[in-house]
Amino acid sequence: MPPYIGKKLKIPFPYIKKPRLSVAYTGRRLYDSYHEIPLSNSGISWYHVNMIDRAHLRQIVQKKLDANRVVALIGPRQCGKTTLAREFVSPSSVNYFDLEDPLSLALLDQPMTALQDLTGLVVIDEVQRRPDIFPVLRVLADRNPLPARFLILGSASPELLRQSSESLAGRISTLSMSGFSLEEVGAKAQSTLWRRGGFPLSFTAPSEEASLEWRKDFVSTFLERDIPQFGFNIPSASLFRFWSLLAHYHGQVWNAAEAARTLNVSEGTARRYVDLLQDLFMVRLLQPWYTNLGKRQVKSPKVYIRDTGLLHALLGIRTEQELLLHPRSGASWEGFVIEEMIKATAPEEVYFWGTHSGAELDMLMIKDGKKIGVECKRVDAPRLTPSMRTAMQDLELTTLLVVYPGSKRYALTEDIWTVPLSCLAEEGAEW
């Protein structure tokens, strides 16, 4: 029998309702359904999504709110933070502040006056726009009895994290959020999620063309508007070229010097750009695991574009057929599996492992003191390889999961199992 990883690691796999989607048209422009920012001239003006239920994520937020005075929900723009927060507090409530709304900004000109008399749960969206609020939140969070708790939302701003850690140490719990997961959208939507990515408006777009147009506009808006708002003075064209270069590095060991030569910039500039995109949750640098094995091991990180929909837009992939035939298809699948595994299992630590002799492991997860290996294979029937045996022995893994897009589980050895990625979307999945 396969190892019951879900039970061993105490990973919840709640029942996920089937997605119910609806789209409304007004025939002019495409808008962000969270902040109503014009994004495109694609002929669609407004998406109103009858939401995919994110029950598990909502339960996690509620648990954190029950245990903490301040909860920070951070993640990239358009990943659904605002929609989730509005399930806790109505945007029409006096307890809801959206700092991209001029009225809310005006109300918080005197934050202590605006916040001190409120009771219950208070939501402050895009809080990184007003870092001076954090000292006020510290004072309000220290009251006894405590009349109000605070849910603050931020678009993955490093400034948000720095201010919160300085001003709210011991009072705040931070939860990182991303787009839809396979657990949320269901196994039948696996290929769509891989192709379009997890951003809600990309995933729920009425056509492949509309989805791709949204992603292109997202990249443009992110570079031209969001980056300057975060306080970084970087030419959008330069950062776009760098981001596109990273898409071609996706799934490979990151070499800043090589990238710098390619773009004719300094190595320090290349490192600064990749750190920025990582801080804003656009890129994942998967750090290497190395230990004293008597072998030469890889000590540079691997780089991934975190959302595969954005990866495909940057690579110019438009259709499913183009994706399957693209030379980076296998690397795209690898990144997709890694992100979905991290979302589903919430490990304490994640790494990759490789040696200069060729042995490697796509991902090493550490959860509850156990080492779980993950290999990502986009093949019909994965087979046991010498690299898998080496990883099991050298890393002393509890088990190794070979994740593939098929439908059957089967054992390669007693501790090495081939499992479908769709298991993440099954009710009560036990690996």
pLDDT single digits (tens) 361-371: 999 999 999 99
Please give the pLDDT value at position 156: 67
Cis amide leading into 19 (omega within 30): no
User: For helices 308-315 and 236-249, what crossing angle results, to 10°?
Assistant: 100
- Phi, psi (5° rounding) for residue 221? -65, -40
Helix (H, G, I), strand (E, B) or coil at 425: helix
Structure tokens at 381: 């029937």
> What average pLDDT values come out for the chain (431 residues) when binned by 10 residues?
41 34 32 38 38 88 95 93 95 95 92 95 92 91 94 79 75 92 93 97 96 97 89 90 96 95 94 93 94 83 98 96 96 97 93 92 95 96 95 95 94 96 68 50
Please give the pLDDT value at position 157: 65
Please give the pLDDT value at position 160: 64
- Phi, psi (5° rounding) for residue 329? -60, -45
Please give the pLDDT value at position 413: 95
Domain ranges of the chain: 5-13+181-425, 55-176
The residue count for the chain: 431
Looking at residue 183, its amino acid is E
**Measured distance CA(82)–CA(215) in Å, rounded:** 19
Where does residue 180 rank: exposed (0-12), middle (13-18), buried (19+ CB within 10 A)?
Answer: buried
Q: What is the topology classification, in CATH, of domain 55-176?
A: Rossmann fold (3.40.50)
Structure tokens at 155: 């678009």
CB 351, CB 288: distance < 8 Å: yes
CB 337, CB 277: distance < 8 Å: no
